[in-house]
Structure 1
Amino acid sequence: MQNTLNSIIEPAYDILRTEKANPLDFIFSPRNVAVIGATEKQGSVGRTLLWNLISSPFGGTVFPVNPKRNSILGIKAYPTIFDVPEKVDLAVIATPAPTVPGIIADCVKAGVKSAIILSAGFKEAGPEGIALEQQILQQARLGNMRIIGPNCLGVMSPHTGLNATFASAMARPGNVGFISQSGALCTAILDWSFRENVGFSAFVSLGSMLDVGWGDLIYYLGDDPHTKSIVIYMESVGDARSFLSAAREVALTKPIIVIKAGRTEAAAKAAASHTGALAGSDKVLDAAFRRCGVLRVNSISDLFDMAEVLAKQPRPKGPRLTILTNAGGPGVLATDALISSGGEVAPISEQTRTALNEFLPTHWSHDNPVDILGDADPQRYTKALEIAAQDPNSDGLLVILTPQSMTDPTATAEQLKHYVESSQQKSQPAKPILASWMGGADVAAGEMILNRQSIPTYAYPDTAARVFSYMWQSSYNLRGIYETPVLPTIDSGSGIPNRQYVNKIIQTARLAGRTILTEFESKEILAAYGIPVVGTCIARNEEQAVECAEKLGYPVVLKLFSHIITHKTDVGGVQLNITDAESVRRAYRAIESALQEKVQTDPHYAKLGSENPDIFLGVTVQPMVKTHGYELIIGSSLDPQFGPVLLFGTGGQLVEVFQDRAIALPPLNSTLARRMMEQTQIHKALTGVRGRKSIDMEALEQLMVAFSQLVVEQRWIKEIDINPLLASEEQLIALDGRIILHDADITEEQLPKLAIRPYPTQYIGRWTMRNQTPVTIRPIRPEDEPLMVQFHHTLSEESVYFRYFHLIKLSQRVAHDRLTRICFIDYDREIALVVESQNSTKEAKEILAVGRLSKVHGTNTAEFAIVVSDRVQCQGVGTELLGRLIEIGRDEQLSKITADILAENHGMQKVCEKLGFRIQRTADPTVVKAEFDL
C-alpha cells in the first residue's frame, strides 16, 4: 500500500465522528443541579424553581443551597456550594444581584460546570448592574463556566424532564427548539402551546445574554436530534458574527424562524451621509437574516406555523402557487394574500388547461385559481390535483375545501392523503402541498387525516397563502446561504487595487485632523479600486479653473472644493453646463459668493466658517457628462449591530424621497450583488424597459463587488457614497463620491468588525514540493467546485477509505449538494486550504490536496482533515498543510487541534508525530486520536 497522507475526518456532515461533549450539555442534561437561593417562602422564585426541579424528574439529584435552613421542601439543604457532597453540573441562582459575583466565584472554585442566573438587577438597572455583569463574566472565564442569563426565566428540556425555571408549568415534549430573550413572552408562549398542542425539544429564556448567546444555542440545537426547527423571539442580536455564522450553518438542515421586536423602531441616524439616512437598522437586520438563511415573520402564530410547515413540507423552488378550490370567494382571498405577501399566481399551461377541460364541468374557471365548482366530489379533487401538480409553471399547491351539499371533507382528505403517498412512492419531484379545510367541526376529521400525513391545514385560505409566501422567502434566503464572499480581481491596470495609494490618501487626511475627504480624494480612492470616475481637476483660483476647463474640454461642471462641506448642492456649490472661459469665471465667483452668503446667514455654516477659515479652497472642474441613463446610489455606512453595511438603489438629488434601495452585508460576490439589485424597483429599468437596451449588468455586478472590497479592506472609512453613479448602455461612471473617516481618537482595535468574515487573503502563500513543482496554498473558494470534482477523480480507494473510514462512490463525493458545503464555507468557523498548481499539459489549474481546520461547537478546539492526491504523495504536501493549519490555529487563538485517525493509517500518524502531536489510543481499537496543544 502506498504511504497515504490522508486524514480521516471530514466536517460533521460528511463522515462518522466521535462524539464531542458540548459545554451546554451540563445545562440541558445535568447529572445534578444546585439551587442557590432555594427557600420555603410561598410565591418566591427560589421555592417555585426548587419545586419545578423536583416535580419534573430529570434523572439527577437536586441540592438546595441556603445557609439559613437545614432542609427545604423536605430536601436536605447545604449552607454553601462547597458543602454539596457531589461535583455539581448546573447551579441555578436566584439571589439578589449584588451577591451573584461572589456566588459565581465560589461555584468556579467548587468546580461547577455551568450556571443559570435568574436574578434581575443587572444591565437593565444601569451602570452598577453592568459592573456586576463584568465581575460575573471575569469569574466565570477562570473556570470555563458557561452561563445563561442573568434576568431570565430559565431553561426547560422537556425530553429529559429538566425544568430549571420558575414558570408555572412544564412544556410538552416536541421537536421545536424555542429561544427567547423575554421571560414574560416565554410564559405567554407556554400557555399558548398547551392550547395549540405544540411541543418543544428545548425551551430557553436567554435574558441579558451575558455569556451564552444566539450562536451558542443555534449550534447546540442544530446538533440536537430532538430538534427539527428553531424558533426565536429576539430583542437584540448581540454578537452578530456568532449569530450569522451559526445560523448560516444550521438553517440548511433545520429551519430557523425569527420574530424580532422593534420593527418600527426609528432608523439608525447617521447624519452625514445619504446611505446612513437610508439604511435603517431594521432593514439591515432583514438583510442579515437573508444572508444567513433565517426566515423573519411578523406574528407569534406565523412563528409556529412556519416551524410546523417547514419541518413537514419541502421548500418551494419558486414563488408560484396553484390554488385549487371548490368555491370562488376563498380562491380570490387566497390570491390577494399570496400576491400581497410576495408570492405569485402560477400561470396555467395550455397542456394543463387542456387536461382539466377533459373532465371538469364546462364552467370551471379555466385559470388559476382553479375553481372546480361547488359540486366537486373527492375524485374530481384528486384528478385535478394530479394534473395541476404536473404543471411545470407551479412551485406549490394549495387545496381549499368549503363544505357544500356535495362535499365530503373526510373522503376528499383521504384521497389527498393517498395521492401524496403515491407521489412519494413514485419519487415524483416534491412540491409543497397546503390545505385549507374551511368549516370548523364539520371538517375536523378531514383535517386530522391531512395533519397525520404531514399536510398542514389552515382554517382560512389567506393564512395558507401567506404561509406559502413565507416558504418561498425561506427558499430564496437559503439559495444564497453558501454564496461565501470572495474578494474580486479588479480589472484595472495591474489587476489589483492600488492599496498603497489609498492608504496614503487616508493617512494624509488623518494626520491633518480631517475626517471628511474632498471629492477629488474620494474619487481617487474609487478609481484605485477599479471604479470608473469622471475626470476631475482642482482649481484654486479663476484662472486655474479656466485652464482645467480648456484641458478637459467644454462643456464642464464646477463644484465647490472644500475639506468641510460635503453636500455641495446645499450651499449652491454646483454650476452645470459651462461652455466657455468667461462662464467658468462667473461660475467660480458664484460658488464662492454663495458659500460666503451661507456662512453669513446660516448659523450652522457660520459656525463652520469661524472654526475653519479655509472653508473655501476653490473648485473642482469636471467634464459635463451626458446624463441620459439612470442615476444610482451605492454606499456604505455603519450599523451599530452589524458594522459596515452596503446600500444600492435609485440615486440623484431625490434619493431620500424615492427611498428605492436595498441593503446587504459585505463582502459581496457577483451573485450576491445581483440579488441585492433585484430587490429594487430601478432594477427593472436597468435590465431594459420600453425599448431601451439593458445596461451592462455584469459590469455593474463587478463594480458592486469592487466597491464591497473597498469597504472590507479600508476599515478607516466610516461612510462612503457614490451618488450619482450614472448607468447607461455605454458606460458606468461615478459622477460624485464622498468619504468620511472614523474620528481621530478611534484606535485600529476599536474599528468596527465586519459581521461576515471575508476571504482570508492572509493565508495565501507560495510553496515548492520536493519534486520542485511550485504551488499556491490558499483558502478554498466557492468557484473551486469544478476543481474539486477533478480532484476526487485522482483519489484511490485507499485514499477514500482513509478519509471517510469507509468507501464512498465517486458520484456521491462529487455531488453538487455535498461540494457546495465543502467549497462554500464560513471562514469564521473553518478554514480549508487547497494546494493548487498549474497543469502544464492542460494549461489549467488543478487542486492537489485539501487541508481543513473546523472549530468544534461550544469549545475553543478544532479538528483537522487532510487529503492528498495519490500522484503527489510523499512530496511533503501533508506535512506542509498540517504545519500551516497549526499556524492558523494559533492565529485564531484556539487552544487545541485534534483528529481521529484510523489505526492503520500509519503515514498520517507519522506526519502528526513529526509536528509534535500526541497519538493516543481510544475506546475503539480501530481509531487513534492525535492532539496538539497550542
Structure 2
Amino acid sequence: MTVRNLDVLMRPASLGVIGPNRFGDKAKSILFDRIAASGFPGDKIACAVDGEIPDGFLRSDTIDGLAAAPELAVLLAGSETPARDLEALADKGTKAVILMATGFDAWDHDTRSKMVKTASACGIRVVGPGSLGVISPHAKLDVSLSAHSAAPGDLALVSRSGAVVNAMLAWGAAHHVGFSGVVSLGQKTDISVGDMLDWFANDYRTRAILLHLESISNPGLFMSAARAPARSKPVIVLRSGAYGHRREEFLTESARLATPDAAYDAAFQRAGLLRVRDLDEMFDAAETVSRFKPGFGRRLAIVGNGHSLANVASDRLQARGGQMAKPSAESREKLTQFLRPAAANANPFVLDNDAPPEHFSHTIAALMADKQTDGVLVVIAPNAFISTAETVTAIAETAKKTRRASMKKKPVTVVLADEDPALRQLLEEAGVPCYRTPSEAVRGFMHLVRYAEGQKLLMRTPPSLPAGFTPAAVRARTVIERCLIAGRNWLDPTSVRILLSAYGIPVMESIVVTDGAEAEIAAHRLATGTRRFAIKIASPDIPFHSDVDGVWLDLPSPAAVADATEKMLERMATEHPDKRIDGVVVQPMLDARHAHELVGGITDDPVFGPLIVLGGVVSEGVIDLAVDLPPLDLNLARLLLQRADISHVLAGSRHSAAIDPEAIAHLLVRLSQIAIDFPEIRDLDLDPIVIESGRIVVLDARVAIGPVDRSRHKLGHPRLTIRPYPQEWERNITLKDGRPVFLRPIRPEDEVLYDDFFAEVSDEDMRLRFFAPIKEFTHAFLARLTQIDYARAMAFIALDGNTGQLLGVVRLHADADHDTGEYAVLIRSPLKGLGLGWVLMKQIIEYARADGIKVINGEVLHENGGMLAICEALGFSVRTSEDDRSIAKVTLEVTPDEDASPVPQLEKVG
C-alpha cells in the first residue's frame, strides 16, 4: 500500500486513450465526450483507437510509435494484452493506468496476476480492471464512463462499484454538491481503498471522504490507512453485502453470535469511520458531518412552531440514543417571552403558529449560548400565518452570527417541508443543513454525535498490559504449548481452568474424572457448601454438550454423581464411538434461580482476526450482542458493555443484587489480554458467565487452539488488526550528565509536549531534520507526528525522568511490504553530545530487527556531519543521492535475529 504515483492518477500532466477499443462506439463516444467537456489542459493522445477522434488529440497507431507516452493512460483493450501494454507504456514514461469497463469485468486469476507483477516491476499504478473511471474536477480531469460528471467541490468518493459512483454523482448534480475526486476502483488489483484513503487524507481540497466497499482483503493495512484521514476529516463508509455468505457450522457460541458484519461494524468504529446503511443515509451524513467539527455531545434542543412535528423529532432523537437538552434556568427565563405559555420549561420549545422571524432568532441564539446544549434543531411547520422565506432568512442569519461569536461552532439544523430551492440554497450558503423530515434531521445530528465519539475512540491506544494487572502468562503459555505439542486442537478442561485463572477470570471449581469411582471422590471434595452437582462430557470432538445430551444437572449426592458418570460414559461409547472422550467434568451446582447469564469470549474472524464478544444468553443472532477488536482498555470495555445493552442484567432484581459494570469491564479487558498474548487461541467460549449475588463466575469454558504463522511480523500477534501500545518497549536510561531519561513509544496525547520541545530545537536543526525551515506547527502537523499506527510505524520519545519534558524522538516508517523502513531523529539542540541521539538510533534499530524489517533507509543533508557520523558508527552505508547531491542516502542492512525480542534494560550512556 502506497501513494506512489497517485498524484499522476489525480493530476496528470498528460493523458492518453489506448486501444484497441473492445467496448464499442457508444462507450468510446462517452469517454471522449467526458474528456472534452472536462477541459483537460494537458496533452491528449489517442493511440490505436479506430474511428473518429475529437480535435485536440495527438494520434498514433502504436505505443511504440509515441514520441512520449502520457503520464496517465486509459486502456480500452481487453484482458489479452494488459501486461504487454503496461511494459510498453512504462518504457515510454507512463506512471498510472486505468483499466476501464462498462460493467462487471471478470479477468481470470492468471491474467490478473501477470498484469499485477508487470505493473509492480514497471512502477506503474493500476486502477481496475472493471473501473468506471476517475474524475478529478479541480484538475479538469474526467476519464470515466459515468452517467454524470462532477463539479469541483470538497467531497471525495471512493467506490468499488460503478453503480454506486453513478448514484452518488446523480445526487451531487441534483443537490449542487461538488467533488474533489471520484475513483471507481473496480477489482482493486493494485490501487486499493487504503491507497486512496492515504492520498485523500493529505489532499487539502478534500473536506470529507465518502467510501463504499463490500469487503476488505487486508484489514491491517485498511485500518492503518483509514485511521489517518479519519483523524482530520470525516470518512463516511457504506458497506454492501452485509448479509452475504456466512459459514453455517460454529465451534463455539461466541463464533455463532459474532456475525461477519458485526466485525466490520467494530472495525469501522475503531478506525473512526462513520458507518451508514444506505445511500440516503450517506447523503444525510455528508450533508451534516462535513460541515461541523466533532466535539459536541448528545444534548439537542428542538425548536418548532408546532407541537406535533417537534415531538416527532423528540421521539426519534431519544429512540436513536440522543438526549433532550436541559438548558439552564437563566436560558429558560430568556425563552419565556418568545414561546407558548408553559413551553419555556420543556424541550421541545414551541413557538406560536404565527411566530415572527425574530422569535425564532432570539430562541435559537439563547439556546446556542447555553452551555448545557450541544445543538439546535429547528422544525418549521409552514402555515398561512407566517412567511416561510422570512423565517428561513432569520434562521440563516442567526446561525451565521452565533458561529462567528463563539469558539465552539455548535450545529444548527433545519427541518423544512417547503420544496422551494431558493430557501434551501439560502440555508446551504449559511452552512445550515436542511432536511425534509424530522427523522432525517435527527439522523443527521446523531451522525455528528457518532462521529465525535468515533474521534475519541480513534485517539485511544490501549496498553498491551492494563495498569495494575500482572497475569501469570508463563504458566498459561506452558499449558497451551503442551497441548499443541500433543497435537490437540482444544485445551483440556484442566488447562482451560489454568489459563483463565492465570488471567484472573473466576471459574467454577471442577474436577475431570474418567469413571464413576473417581467421580464420587471428586463430588465429596467439591461438596463444601453445596448438596447438588452437575456433570458434563469432556471431549475435543463435541463443541456443544447439549447436542449429545452431555450435561446432567441437579445430581443430589456423590453416589448419584458416580452413577450418572458411568451411564454417561457408557452412552457416549455406544452412541458416539467416533468421538474422543477425555472423561467427565464434575462441578458443584450453583443456585441459579435468581442468577443472570451472559455469553462472552474470543472468536477468530476470517477478516479481522480476534474479536471480543459479549452478549446475553437470550440473544439470538445479534440481539443484545456487541463485539470489538482487541486491545481493550477499561474505557473501551465500558463502551462495549453499553453496546451490548445488558442493563437488565446489571440492574439486578427483587431477588438478586445489582452488578457493578466495572467487574464485567475488567473481565473483558482480561479476555482482550488473553487474545493479545496468545495468537494460538482460535476461539474461547465463556458460556455461561453467571452473575449471582453480586459475584461473577464462569460455569463452562472451551478454548480452541492452533499453530501460529509469524512469517510477516515477528512481534506480537500476527492476526491483530490493531496493534496495542507496546509497553514492553519502555526503557529507563541515564545520559552522560547523569540525567535520568524514560524511553517509550509515542502516544497521541504526547502532542502537548511538542511546543516546549520545538522551542529548544534551533532553526538550523529544524532545517537539517525537515530539509526546510518550519515556522508553524499546526494540529494536523503534530497529529501526524504523534498519532501513529504501530502496524505501520514506530516512534520512540525520550522524556526527562524528573520533569517529563520531551527531549528527543526517533521514528521509523515501514513500507507496505514491511521489508524496509525510513528513519528520522530529532533531539533538543542543547542536549547534543550527551549520547541521546545514539541511544535513540540503537533503540529503533533493535525494534526494526525484532519486527522483521530488513533494511533501514534515511536521507541526511551532507552538512549534517553529526548525524552522518552516528550512522557510519552504527554500520550504515553512505552514498550521495542521484537526484540531489546535497543529500546523503544512508542504508543499514539489519542483521536478522531469529530470537529477536525487545532489547534489555539500558542503564547508562557513554
CA contact (8 A) 1:267 1:279 kept: no
SS at match of 1:98: coil
CA 1:243–1:367: 2 relative to 1, 3 Å: same
CA 1:523–1:921: 2 relative to 1, 3 Å: same
- Alignment deviations for residues 69-98 of structure 1 (CA, whole Å, 9 cap, x no partner): 998878443343232211432221111112
Aligned to 1:7: none
Aligned to 2:604: 638
Higher relative contact order (CA 8 A, sep 6+): 1
Q: Choose from 325, 328, 333 the match for 2:312.
A: 333
1:259 and 2:218 aligned: no
Aligned to 2:360: 381
SS at match of 1:674: helix
- How far apart are 1:690 and its partner, in Å? 7.0
Amino acid at match of 1:547: I
1:866 and 2:825 aligned: yes
Q: Choose from 785, 797, 809 the match for 2:760.
A: 797
Aligned to 1:829: 792
Q: Choose from 455, 467, 491 the match for 1:478.
A: 455
CA 1:396–1:479: 2 relative to 1, 3 Å: same
Map 1:547-586 → 2, pairs under 5 A: 547-554=521-528, 555=530, 556-578=533-555, 580-586=557-563
> 1 CA distance for matches of 2:677 and 2:366?
54
Amino acid at match of 1:880: V
- How far apart are 1:279 and its partner, in Å? 0.8
SS at match of 2:435: coil
Q: Which runs of 5+ in 1 are unaligned?
A: 1-19, 601-605
CA contact (8 A) 1:863 1:898 kept: yes
CA contact (8 A) 1:220 1:857 kept: no
1:723 and 2:687 aligned: yes
CA contact (8 A) 1:795 1:870 kept: no
- Alignment deviations for residues 360-383 of structure 1 (CA, whole Å, 9 cap, x no partner): 342647422211120100111112
- How far apart are 1:172 and its partner, in Å? 1.3
CA 1:795–1:238: 2 relative to 1, 3 Å: closer
CA 1:558–1:356: 2 relative to 1, 3 Å: same
CA 1:807–1:131: 2 relative to 1, 3 Å: closer
SS at match of 1:97: coil
Amino acid at match of 1:354: E
CA contact (8 A) 1:409 1:437 kept: no
- How far apart are 1:561 and its partner, in Å? 2.2
CA contact (8 A) 1:228 1:311 kept: yes
Aligned to 2:904: none
Aligned to 1:214: 193
- How far apart are 1:55 and its partner, in Å? 4.6
Aligned to 2:473: 498
- Alignment deviations for residues 340-398 of structure 1 (CA, whole Å, 9 cap, x no partner): 33333324554443332244342647422211120100111112112222344322111
Report the more deviating stretch, 824-833 or 323-332: 824-833
Aligned to 1:190: 169
Q: Choose from 845, 849, 861 the match for 2:808.
A: 849
Aligned to 2:698: 734
Report the more deviating stretch, 568-577 or 237-246: 568-577
CA 1:876–1:315: 2 relative to 1, 3 Å: closer
CA contact (8 A) 1:375 1:406 kept: yes
CA contact (8 A) 1:912 1:930 kept: no
Report the more deviating stretch, 402-411 or 39-48: 39-48
Aligned to 1:710: 674
> 2 CA distance for matches of 1:550 and 1:766?
53
CA contact (8 A) 1:484 1:824 kept: no
> 2 CA distance for matches of 1:405 and 1:119?
54
> 2 CA distance for matches of 1:253 and 1:584?
63
Aligned to 2:518: 544
> 2 CA distance for matches of 1:104 and 1:922?
26
> 2 CA distance for matches of 1:790 and 1:41?
58
CA 1:791–1:407: 2 relative to 1, 3 Å: closer
- How far apart are 1:153 and its partner, in Å? 0.6
Aligned to 2:282: 303
Map 1:493-892 → 2, pairs under 5 A: 495-499=470-474, 501-554=475-528, 555=530, 556-578=533-555, 580-596=557-573, 600=575, 606=576, 609-610=577-578, 612=579, 615-627=580-592, 629-651=595-617, 654-656=618-620, 659-683=623-647, 685-686=649-650, 694-727=658-691, 730-742=694-706, 749=711, 753-760=719-726, 763=729, 769-770=735-736, 777-781=743-747, 785=750, 797-798=760-761, 802-803=765-766, 824-835=787-798, 839=802, 848-854=807-813, 864-868=823-827, 873-886=832-845, 888=847, 891=851
Amino acid at match of 1:399: V
SS at match of 1:159: helix
SS at match of 2:512: strand
CA contact (8 A) 1:486 1:781 kept: no
> 1 CA distance for matches of 2:505 and 2:138?
57
Q: Choose from 106, 116, 134 the match for 1:155.
A: 134
Aligned length: 878
1:53 and 2:35 aligned: yes
SS at match of 1:33: strand
> 1 CA distance for matches of 2:783 and 2:694?
36
Amino acid at match of 1:853: L
Map 1:276-355 → 2, pairs under 5 A: 276-315=255-294, 317-347=296-326, 349-355=328-334
Amino acid at match of 1:649: G
1:35 and 2:17 aligned: yes
> 2 CA distance for matches of 1:40 and 1:405?
61
CA contact (8 A) 2:612 2:627 kept: yes
CA 1:388–1:24: 2 relative to 1, 3 Å: same
> 1 CA distance for matches of 2:483 and 2:853?
34
SS at match of 2:201: helix
- How far apart are 1:152 and its partner, in Å? 1.0
- Alignment deviations for residues 467-518 of structure 1 (CA, whole Å, 9 cap, x no partner): 11222122222221111232114867xx24424x444433433344332322
SS at match of 2:25: coil
Q: Which runs of 5+ in 2 are unaligned?
A: 894-910
Q: Choose from 89, 93, 109 the match for 1:130.
A: 109
> 2 CA distance for matches of 1:893 and 1:236?
28
CA 1:882–1:263: 2 relative to 1, 3 Å: same
1:456 and 2:433 aligned: yes
What is the TM-score normalised by the length of structure 1? 0.84
Aligned to 1:3: none
- Alignment deviations for residues 419-471 of structure 1 (CA, whole Å, 9 cap, x no partner): 33332343253321001233233xx5443332211111223333212211222
> 1 CA distance for matches of 2:204 and 2:394?
33
CA contact (8 A) 1:488 1:705 kept: no
CA contact (8 A) 1:483 1:824 kept: no
Report the more deviating stretch, 468-477 or 587-596: 587-596
What is the TM-score normalised by the length of structure 2? 0.87
- Alignment deviations for residues 260-281 of structure 1 (CA, whole Å, 9 cap, x no partner): 1123436554511111111111
> 1 CA distance for matches of 2:188 and 2:678?
31
> 2 CA distance for matches of 1:397 and 1:70?
57
Q: Choose from 191, 202, 205 the match for 2:181.
A: 202
- How far apart are 1:747 and its partner, in Å? 5.4
- Alignment deviations for residues 23-77 of structure 1 (CA, whole Å, 9 cap, x no partner): 2011111122232215598635445434533453322222222288998878443
CA contact (8 A) 1:922 1:929 kept: no
Amino acid at match of 1:387: A
SS at match of 1:645: strand
CA contact (8 A) 1:490 1:529 kept: no
- Alignment deviations for residues 506-531 of structure 1 (CA, whole Å, 9 cap, x no partner): 34333443323223222222223332
CA 1:364–1:769: 2 relative to 1, 3 Å: closer
> 1 CA distance for matches of 2:50 and 2:6?
31
Aligned to 1:248: 227
Aligned to 1:6: none
